[in-house]
Structures are given as structure tokens and as C-alpha cells.
Structure 1
């Protein structure tokens, strides 16, 4: 039995660490081998899914890199790390752009999810509850990464199969079609995922929130509806989570990113053994010295973000850290993202938070405002402001106009969701304010902004491999 399990683990490792010469390239015999062996047993099907989550945390560190690259690309972060200062300085070339890592990782995870989904679908021996949960999680992961790819790259290949002969010549699908697929995948996942958070066997209920459940799909569905302008549906989905107070509630600021946070809707955990790193966000963002010329501990919070906080905002005190270089006269302060407090520690107290309840309040606030329910929008916005220790809109500006309320919500999103999964950059894009903001900010980063920079370049290697794949405007 031990040798069989080791054999399966090796197969899973092979599948989940395939090269990225083509984002969907895999030799057919290997696909058959994985399908025939992994998805005959519950434990190995669960192991395949676990391998997917491991790669999402470890492989090129997507949670950290998404926060880093989008923060550098927008008005949140700066860095002394020369290759990324900023990521579009002197032209973001398709051949060697650092953002290529997000494309490659995203499609690798989508391929893995498709492989798991197809393997479970074909299996006749899996426990029905395991099969249903694993397939639902796989389709959720596909929707999750399609969401980020379509927002960062625009029209993208919509990969829904492991059929290599089809995928190697696939063309780009319009943004609207990709969103339609994301929504349909999330609706399916929402209907099939367990109400509870499940453990390694996909059945037993656990406290950790590291496996997607029904609420996880609901949270991403609320965000997606907001992005496509379906404000009624966005508010409805967010309400399902906000009203589920037995499971979800806003936490004190110091507890939001802890393992046991009731605000967390979905978290990612580094696999054991974890070494001395709880999260890469903590390990790489926290400054313990002067910013250095390395990817790690090289990033500072921009003056635009620091200056966005109102007087008395506890998020500035608790979520932005300061390193003071006393070797200089006068001394110099460096500010850094400090939502995650653990730099290096064998005591695991923090997981990466992917989706959380505060965003759902802000989603519903914006959706309500767009539907002219200003009182409802103000009520939701004030939940976030009150926790932050700043005066509620209801008392300071109760007659605020719809336009000004939407501006206030966008500003609150900037202060609440900074350095988390690219929220700020995507907010500026979807609200059509990115060009105006970055035209002012880019010179401080040593760059000049133009509208073609709204989309990232597709890796040139992918263009060379797929004759039907075209490049975004402004790149070569």
C-alpha cells in the first residue's frame, strides 16, 4: 500500500509540475496514466486536489506576486528591486515581463483543475460525496483563475478541457464570454459545494477554512456580478454571506488574518512542514531592515496609499508597518504592508486570506448605491468605517450624493483591501479611473503611462506556440 501511494504521489507531482512551454501542453500517455490511477481512489483524488492548493501557495507564490505586481503596477507600492521598478518601467516587454509568471501560473492551475474535474467525472469508483465536492472545488478554481486572467490580460483563451490538440491552437475569447463562463462555473460550484468547510477526506467538517465551500463560491460570485454590472445579483449574493452571522463576522483589525478569523471566507495554508514561513506576504513584505535589492523585503507602501487614510484610522496604525533607518541623519522611515504580522516563525498563526467578509460589505455598498439605495449603501460602508475608527458617513455627510458616495466607497476599498490580491488595480480599471490616476502617479515611478498599459502583455513564448493567439496592443 505504501509503495502504491508513493507511486500515485509521483504521478501527481509530475502532472502538477509540467513545464510552461505551452500553457496546456501535456503528453497524452501521461494524461491517461494520471486519470486511470489517481481517480480510482478517494484518497488519491483528494491528494490531487491538495496538490493543486499546494501549488497555488508555493509555485511562484501567486498570492504574494499578485499583490506585489498589481501594487507596483498601480498606486499602492514601490520597490527598490530594480527589475520590478515599476513592472512597466521602460516598457513591459512581452518576451521577459515579470507578469508572465501570473499568466503561466494561472493556466497551470486551470489545467490542473480541468484534469481533476475530468478525472472525477470519468471515475466510477469514487465515493459520491467525495466526487461531488472535488469536482465542485475544481470548477471553482477554474473560475477563480479565469477571473484574474481576464481582468489582467483582457480577452483570453478559455481553456475548459485537457485536450492538448484543441488547446494548443485555441484563440482568445471576448471578455464578455469569459465572464459568462466564470459565472456559470461559479453557479455550478455554489450548488454543489458543501455548506461546511471539509477536511482532507472531502466529507468531515473542520474549522479550518482552506477548502472552498458554498460560501466561497458565493463570495466570488458577488464580486463577479459587481464587476459585470449586475448590481441586483451582487447585492443578493453578498447578503447571503453578511446575514450568515453564525459563521461570518467582522473581526478586530488585529485578528482579520489569523487562522481562526471569523471574517475569512477562504484561506490558503502553506503545506506542512511549513518551515519558518506562515505566509509569503508576511515573509516578503515585512521590512526588518532598509529595503534591499532583492524580491524579498524590497517593497514599500506608496505615499498615495499612506496619505489616503483619515486621521485616526486604525488601519494605518495596525496594517502599515514602519522601519526606521536610524543610521541616517535625520533618520528615515520606510512604510510597508503589515496586515500579516509573522515574518518567520515555526509557530503557525496566519494563513493567506483570499476572500473575506469586509469585501462583501463593500460589494453590497457599491451595488446598493448603483441601485440608488443610498441609505443601505451608507449603512454597509459605515460598518467598515466604524471598525477602522473613523466617523461614519451617516453622521458626517448624511445627504451625500450618489456620485460622491461611489467615490467614498472606492476610497474605502483602497484603504481596506490594499496589498490583497490586486483589488486596487482592478478597481481602478473597472471604474475607468486607472488612466487618470496613473498618468499622475507613473512619473514618480520613473515611467510614463498610456492607455495600452491597462492590459498586461501575453507572454511572447505563448504567441509563438499558438498560431491563433494574438498579442495585446502596445507590446512586441
Structure 2
């Protein structure tokens, strides 16, 4: 335990002191030798645990602020704050390049990427870690790095792709074209798929396995419109007996489900931000409440409406809050932060099949979530366009306020501009966020700024 605590302290200091700037990272003269941190598998595991903890504290996959901001940026949440703020600018689609949320999303992801690169370098250079242990250490770390690149690519388009902690390289790194980014991520996830096993390192599925890599790789394939490859990767997951659809809507966000591919464990049984951040009662919403657009997408008999949405009545008005995670007591023993679950695999697979005109084959995967919600099942004959609309509706009802799903789904399907019907300030260039002004000032190679900003 002393060794683990020491390594966690070292890596925490390494991260904090080395990430004051986005890509322009100064290496302290008194930095502890990396060979100490990666002396053996115990200290390497501690370094990786520190990265997981940091991702849990603040990232798009762990219920952080960006999750809510992206829901408000699209049409899932309304912002009830009454004063001008960077948060309200996001909701109103009026963000500019010095918006603090835009800046924090960028720098936070690159901090995780820098930490991941440090671990990758340390593990590769270690003589005290066995080859088999190096596989999962590299695989899991590379997976986390790729997730961060994926969100950056979706939010900002052309972005830097640093693969090392070398200050001389990163100080003036240029942007990589979005299409090339997808190719790099495909390459990395193919490697991760070879490094990780199907079996989980922990029975609670708090570390990713090979199937998580296959899911993320399928998302890359779909971004590249390579539908057959996406179908094959997704079917690997669907056909794996480890995963079973959770039949009870009320239990979807409890940690023990076999529908969970990967989840992050909170520290000391703490309540999740997904449970506390959206909570309000006996008042007007403090910040966010569910939008009318989202409410109207549900039928009244939909079990998700009954279990995942809570009405709040105040002064004769009814507001609705997100109620997927429910434990707010900080004695949380049954809810972990779910990153990926089987329902996403089903709906992505349905989409990939429809893209190939395999309409009948797609229906069971769309109907799986509908059946669990006790909605009527879709039947043949049904047109391709109608089924696409139904898949997007199921995505909206199933994944609202989760990890920016709505933004990512609309973007993948080329339907972000449909937001104009509910978001009057929406413009075509809002498909991308602006590159933070501070970062362009630090590194002129990040120019040109994204169109519209």
C-alpha cells in the first residue's frame, strides 16, 4: 500500500506540474525520474489508477460539466440561469473563442492525453514490468487517450495529435486534419483490440476490455461511413454471451447489470454528479431542466419517462429533471458512472444495417429498447428514412443527458442543422466549437480558427 500511495503521489505531482498549458508543456527540472514511477507493475497500476481517477473527476465520459453543456447545446436541456455567463452562451449557441467552457473542454482532454502519453512512455521503457502486464497497461491507456481524441475531434474538427510528452515537439505542434485523425484513431484502436482480452480485469467492469475497444472502433468506422466494418465490430459485442440486455428500466443505471460494457467507480461511495448535478425540488430549476422538445418525444406509457424523469411542481408550473441516477446520499453502493452499455451497441448496429439497406435485420435491434420501455414494436414494411428517424428518436429517449450522445448522434447522421427548429440561434458552423483563443495565442500553428468564429 505504501508503494501504491507513493506512486499515486508521484504521478499526481507529475500531472499537475506538467500540464499548466495545453500542448505547450514545460518539463520541471526537478521532475522525478519516470523509472521510479514505472519500476514495477504495482507502481504502474497506481499511475494508471491516477489517470482513471482524473478522468472520473473531469471528462466527457464521467458525468462532468461538458455532459450537461452538450445537452443544453443541443435540445435536451434548458438553462434556467438568468444572468449572462459562458454557460448560458453555450445554451444559446452564442459561444465565442474565449468561452471558458470551450477552453476547459479542450485543455481538460489534452491534460488526460498528456498523462496517458506519460504512462505509455513509462511502461514502454520499464524493465521491471512483464510483457503480459505491459499489454493491458498500454491497451487501457491507449484506449483512454483515443476517447479523448475522439471527443476533441468531434467538437473541434482538425486538432493536434500529440503522441509524446516531448516539449520541443508539442510546443509548436500543428493540427491534424479531421479525416486523418479518424485514421490514427482506427490504427490505435486496432492495436488496443489486440492488446486487451475479452475477460475483464475486475468483475465490476471498472476497467475496459477488448469489447470496449471494438465499440469505439465501430464509432470510428461509422464516422468514416464504413458500414460493413462497423457492423462486424458491433456484432462481436452483440454475440458475446457476457452481455445481456437489462430487462428492467428501473435497474439500467445500477452497477451490476450485464448490459454494462464499462463503468467508472466513484471514490468512497460518493454520489455521482449525474445524480446531484441535475437535482432540484420545490423551486424553479437552479440551472438545467429537461427541454419541452425532449419531453414531447416520449409517449406517456414509456417506462423511461416514468423512471428516468422526475416532475417538479412549483408555483403552478411543472418542470422536469433528469433522474437516471438516483443515489444522492454519499452512501452510494449501487451506482457507478456507466460509460458504455449494450443499448448503444444495439442502436448503432441498427443504424449500420439500415445504411446498408438491411431494414428487416435492423428492426430487432431498434425494438430491443422499445420493448423494454413497453412501446409498440416497429414492423415491416417500413421505409429507410422513417426507420432512421425512429433510431434517432430512440437514441434521444435512451441516452438523454449522457456523454453528449445527442450531439454526437446528430452529427454522425448529418442532422445537426435540424436543431434550428428548437434553437433559433443555431447556425451551420456550430457543428464545431471554436479553438480556444488562449491556445492559438500560445501556438500559432493552431490557426486557422474554425469557420464562423
Selected match of 1:215 from 211, 216, 224:
211
CA distance in structure 1 between the partners assigned to 2:45 and 2:348 by the alignment: 33
CA distance in structure 2 between the partners assigned to 1:19 and 1:292 by the alignment: 39
Selected match of 2:274 from 274, 281, 294:
281
User: Counterparts in 2 of 1:194-233, with a 5 A limit?
Assistant: 194-198=197-201, 206-233=202-229
Structure 1 residue aligned with 2:146: 143
Q: CA deviation at 1:27?
A: 3.5
Structure 2 residue aligned with 1:71: 71
Structure 1 residue aligned with 2:237: 241
SS in 1 for 2:65: helix
- Would you say 1:95 and 2:77 are equivalent positions? no
- Would you say 1:192 and 2:185 are equivalent positions? no
8 A Cα contact 1:136 1:193, kept in partner: yes
Selected match of 1:377 from 362, 366, 370:
362
Structure 2 residue aligned with 1:39: 38
CA distance in structure 2 between the partners assigned to 1:90 and 1:384 by the alignment: 31
8 A Cα contact 1:463 1:469, kept in partner: yes
Q: CA deviation at 1:196?
A: 1.6
Q: CA deviation at 1:154?
A: 0.8
CA distance in structure 2 between the partners assigned to 1:231 and 1:30 by the alignment: 49
CA distance in structure 1 between the partners assigned to 2:135 and 2:91 by the alignment: 43
Q: CA deviation at 1:104?
A: 1.0
Deviates more, 1:65-74 or 1:78-87: 78-87
8 A Cα contact 1:12 1:34, kept in partner: no
8 A Cα contact 2:8 2:50, kept in partner: no
Deviations 1:333-383 (A, max 9, x none): 110111111123313210111111001010110111111111011121111
User: Counterparts in 2 of 1:284-363, with a 5 A limit?
Assistant: 284-293=277-286, 298-325=287-314, 328=315, 331-363=316-348
CA distance in structure 1 between the partners assigned to 2:248 and 2:329 by the alignment: 23
* Count of aligned pairs: 448
The alignment's TM-score, normalised by the length of structure 1, stands at 0.89
Structure 2 residue aligned with 1:469: 446
RMSD: 2.0
The alignment's TM-score, normalised by the length of structure 2, stands at 0.94
Give the unaligned 5+ runs of structure 1: 199-205
Give the unaligned 5+ runs of structure 2: none
SS in 1 for 2:420: helix
Structure 2 residue aligned with 1:128: 131
CA distance in structure 1 between the partners assigned to 2:58 and 2:410 by the alignment: 28
Name the CA shift for 1:454/1:40 in 2 (closer, same or farther; >3 Å). Answer: same
Selected match of 2:423 from 405, 417, 442:
442
Structure 1 residue aligned with 2:15: 16
Deviations 1:81-115 (A, max 9, x none): 34222515383121133222211111111111111
